[in-house]
Amino acid sequence: MTTQPEKSTGFAATDVLVSEFDGGPDTVQRAISTPEEIQPHTELGLKDDEYDRIRQILGRRPTASELAMYSIMWSEHCSYKSSKVHLRQFGEKAPQNTRMLAGIGENAGVVQISEDLAVTFKVESHNHPSFVEPYQGAATGVGGIVRDILAMGARPIAVMDPLRFGAADHPDTARVLPGVVAGIGGYGNCLGLPNIGGEIVFDPTYQGNPLVNALSIGVLPVSRLQHKEAAGVGNVVVLLGARTGRDGIGGVSVLASATFDEEAEQRRPSVQVGDPFMEKLLIESCLELYDAGLVAGIQDLGGAGLTCALTETAAAAGTGMRVWLERVPLREASMSPTEILASESQERMLLIVTPENLAQVLAVAEKWGVWATAIGEVTPAEADGSPGRLVISWNDHVVVDVPPGSLADDGPVYARPIREPADLILLQADKAETLPRPSTGDELRETVLRMVASPNLCDKTWVTEQYDRYVLGNTVLAQPEDSGVLRIDERTGLGVALSVDGNGRFARLDPYEGAKLALAEAFRNVAVTGAEPVAVTDCLNFGSPEDPAVMWQFAEAVRGLADGCQQLGTPVTGGNVSFYNQTGAAAIHPTPVVGVLGVFDDVSRRIPMGFPQGGDGDQLFLLGETATELSGSEWAWVTHGHLGGRPPKVDLVREQRLGALMSRASQAGHVAAAHDLSDGGLAQALVESCLRYEVGARIALPDDGTTSFVYLFSESAGRALVAVPRGHDKAFVALAADYGVPCTPIGVTSREPVLEVRDEFSIPLPELREAWTSTLPKLFGGVAEIAGRHGDPEHAANPDAPVGDHGDAVLATAAAGAAMETAAPVEADGVSSSAALSVELEISEGDAVPGGPIEPAE
């Protein structure tokens, strides 16, 4: 007799594969006795030779549960089978770095920033789930990356979100973007984590394949660093957190390891459902367990759920594991063993604890109101010294008996064919430098206004005001600054800066140089704040690895990033590869997103991007050299819809010199404001710096043969705009000369609210602001409307239901998350208790709303 699960999951192992036989599951014993039974391995993404190899490893056919586990762990998302051969460069070319405590292969990279403190950070993708169900896809992306940080022993302290969508005016962008933004804000705000930066990019290449990358950072005492190994024979395996349901089944093999097609809508059940309040309780319970020394090993449950956590912890230690699945707390009692193992239900962690500590662990979990269940134990290695086995039973039926290393470490590795895209030569020959360009003052003025109103360059407040940037009270700089800056130690001022950057158009024109340019911009964004860049994380978003042209792009981008990191002395600490970002044969632009971490000895010396109020007459300098580099630029795209030529040349030695200059100038107090030059060039930097605090500028561009247009719109790398207070200009110029950084005076700040370029044009700041701020509200509506439409998971699950007035509920939810954070024991992180910002709440007729604006910490 065969029965199917009550609800379709979109996962072949639970929807197609026989799950019960005469009232029992597909057991190991039955697999031995039915060797020729047909199994739908191809529907699970396994190739014939991979399936044959599984049979060879086991010496029999796999059970239904085993087949599901191999399909998950050998998927592109989990095994990196197409990227491993290239990613090795990050280790082979890694620069010497004494700060790194944990790197590639761990849940997240860990970097030491003082004698006692370390930070951990990582960026990952949640692209496909966010297309299928924008709110939950984005929300659970935040939850997943936060648990990666938590698994290293750290308290998560902030998040960032690099986002990419299709054309801004496309109907599907209007469906996806508001839900994604609401999901990120809803989950992060409820956790009480500030969102300190990111990117929002629009381009038709991402139509149907939005990129939703999420970054999180945490802080920990060096002594509290955690590991995932399931060491210690006889230790207990504890499942901590939410109960397990059917949500997310097959997510990493169905959604993350395949291209989208017309059946994408039918895969909606594969998207996880997040509960940020459970995650908050999980965070606090884990931190208390760490501080009490009750955890011997820990692994978060994200993609691949229990399958990944059980196999990786056992394989890392070389031990075995005995697990009783019927002990797993379930949301749906009818779940089969296969479903339990494949579920990607959120807010769960797997702990390894000693038997004598089990009672204390369960007590801590009960205190915080989270489920904690002993589901197994660590078993020894084999008698011949080989690693132990993972044995899983369901109501006394053994449904899994495998060597865990075969799942976690021994998956297939492919050196896939690579071939330069056939159109690349013609694409590179079509240079933007030959396009018609404005020449008169009126034409330049019109171009500036058109550019600042374009979707990629316009004001992103519509998005960022849906995020809490200052909760916890240690945010020093946040959007729209070049980098997010956080105070780590309130006593000393020790802090960090973080930036994420990427440019798909540059990478399309030259993936090697494009990856180095992404690294250079993120490095520069951190450097212009005055911080010292020390480490890198990356999220590599590409099309199908089965396309030789895509694999060529990937190989070149990895080579460029590895070479760049080696030259800059900033090691890659970890990251993520996201393949299959394409619909049919149309792949996205290769999009390597690079995050750079910088360190401040004292965040009080950070440099903001906006020209300071009251700084009338501050000298403005352009650092670096400007060349006629327009290919792949925003100007070429906005005004001509053009993509062609070669991207700007990047000189990482000059980037290092610029960074060293800015760090020294910050220490000496020579710079009042600084803004890197990237998308939109000098014109965009001037507009953003003026509008930040409504301070005007009078500009006189150099008369050196370079046209005003090139100075304003070129996107040459290695440049920054700085404002130097009166009386510091000579010292700053001398310092720039010492560091070998070209330093050109181009104007002064002004109390008059106008941006004036001498002999060319003059634009009042109110006119600039109107052009800059009106674009996104016109495209996507008012923020209050969007919050009402997407501000809670119930409505996200039923978008056609009447909306009603959700504004107060959304604010109450965010306030509750912030209030929970104030009660957290901050001293355990090496940060004084006063670091937690007290959020005052006004209670009126049962609704909680924030009392007033929270200003950035000084």
Residues marked active site are found at 77, 126
Other C-beta atoms lying within 10 Å of the C-beta of residue 781: 14
Q: Which secondary structure element, helix H or strand E, spans residue 323, and what is its range?
A: strand 320-324
Please return the burial class of 6, using the count of CB atoms within 10 Å of its CB with bins 0-12, 13-18 and 19+: exposed
Identity (one letter) of the amino acid at 381?
A
Closest CA to 744 of 784, 773, 781, 716: 716
**Phi and psi torsions of 10, nearest 5°:** 80, 15
Identity (one letter) of the amino acid at 490?
E
Cβ atoms of 581 and 264 within 8 Å: the answer is no
Closest CA to 575 of 588, 586, 589, 565: 565
The set of residues, in sequence order, having a beta carbon less than 8 Å from that of 695 and lying 6+ positions away, is 610, 611, 612, 613, 615, 689, 749, 750, 751, 753
In this structure, what DSSP letter does residue 740 have? Answer: T
HSE-CB of 373 using CA atoms within 13 angstroms: 16
Read off the tokens for 61.
Answer: 């056919």
Please return the burial class of 302, using the count of CB atoms within 10 Å of its CB with bins 0-12, 13-18 and 19+: buried
Cβ atoms of 104 and 434 within 8 Å: the answer is no
* CA–CA gap between residue 200 and residue 784 (Å, rounded): 20
* Beta pairing class for 236-241 and 155-165: unpaired
Closest CA to 327 of 209, 244, 447, 415: 244
Place of tokens 């509920």: 809
Closest CA to 251 of 132, 92, 104: 132
Cβ atoms of 144 and 271 within 8 Å: the answer is no
814 alpha-carbon distance from chain centroid: 21
The set of residues, in sequence order, having a beta carbon less than 8 Å from that of 75 and lying 6+ positions away, is 45, 252, 253, 256, 257
**Phi and psi torsions of 713, nearest 5°:** -120, -5
Closest CA to 484 of 196, 189, 162: 196
The set of residues, in sequence order, having a beta carbon less than 8 Å from that of 809 and lying 6+ positions away, is 791, 792, 847
For helices 276-291 and 358-368, angle between their N-to-C axes, nearest 10 degrees: 140
* CA–CA gap between residue 658 and residue 665 (Å, rounded): 10
Closest CA to 17 of 485, 342, 478: 342
